[in-house]
Chain A
Amino acid sequence: ELKVEQNPLFLSMQEGKNYTIYCNYSTTSDRLYWYRQDPGKSLESLFVLLSNGAVKQEGRLMASLDTKARLSTLHITAAVHDLSATYFCAVSHTGTASKLTFGTGTRLQVTL
């Protein structure tokens, strides 16, 4: 059974600081997703990571994947208030791309 663990569950950080969210998963997978969710809203796709060593960056967010360690990280650089949201990682079941197991989410609060 595929299990996905995220930590921390809640993160309060000041603007301008850097931090990393971690996503561990229990079995082999062929892709990993990162999503953002604002309160009361749907999920917005941030990154799709496919291979070992994959790194993707957009703005102040950078995601990486280590398939050997079964670990993905979402690094936040110089946080700004607009990044306040809940971030989810999700791992696909091998061979079934639409069957995802989600982590419990990391609620990020960026304070001024």
Chain B
Amino acid sequence: NAGVTQTPKFQVLKTGQSMTLQCAQDMNHEYMSWYRQDPGMGLRLIHYSVGAGITDQGEVPNGYNVSRSTTEDFPLRLLSAAPSQTSVYFCASRSGSAQVNEKLFFGSGTQLSVL
């Protein structure tokens, strides 16, 4: 059972380059989200999705795009990378069931450096 899988684990970009961070989950979770973690700070929500075809902005959405064409996948696109986007990115998913004790499961993270 893979859980939440993120790729790549590490990436170095030049300013202005674009790339896509991949996130896939095999738990049939409805909710998926992307967070970034900067040194000395907690995680901040970038975008989230409550189901296939539905996305919404979080706290820090600028410079990022998402789409949710399937339940399993929730890629995060950096359109034109900037040094301020240097961070560790985490994808997370959760069941949308009525079981309110459902936890949020996190992927292993992608460490991104923008030069």
Contacts and interface: CB of A to CB of B under 8 A. Distances in A.
Interface of A: 4, 6, 31, 33, 41-43, 45, 48, 50, 88, 90, 96-105
A45 B104 contact: yes
Contacts of A50: 100-101
B25 interface: no
Given A48-B101, A100-B104, A102-B42, 10 more contacts: A4-B42, A33-B103, A33-B104, A42-B107, A88-B42, A99-B33, A99-B48, A99-B58, A100-B33, A103-B42
Given A31-B100, A48-B101, A50-B100, A97 B94 contact: yes
B42 A98 contact: no
Interface in B33-51: 33, 35, 40-45, 48, 50
Nearest to B93: A98
B100 A98 contact: no
A106 to B, nearest CB: 10
A59 to B, nearest CB: 17
A98 B92 CA distance: 9
Contacts, number: 62
Contacts of A103: 42
Contacts of A104: 40-42
A104 B42 CA distance: 4
Given A50-B101, A98-B33, A99-B33, A105 B42 contact: yes
Contacts of A33: 103-104
21 contacts: A6-B42, A41-B109, A43-B43, A43-B90, A45-B105, A96-B48, A97-B94, A98-B31, A98-B32, A98-B48, A98-B50, A98-B94, A98-B104, A100-B33, A102-B42, A102-B43, A103-B42, A104-B40, A104-B41, A105-B41, A105-B42
A42 B42 contact: no
Contacts of B102: 48, 97
A88 B43 CA distance: 9
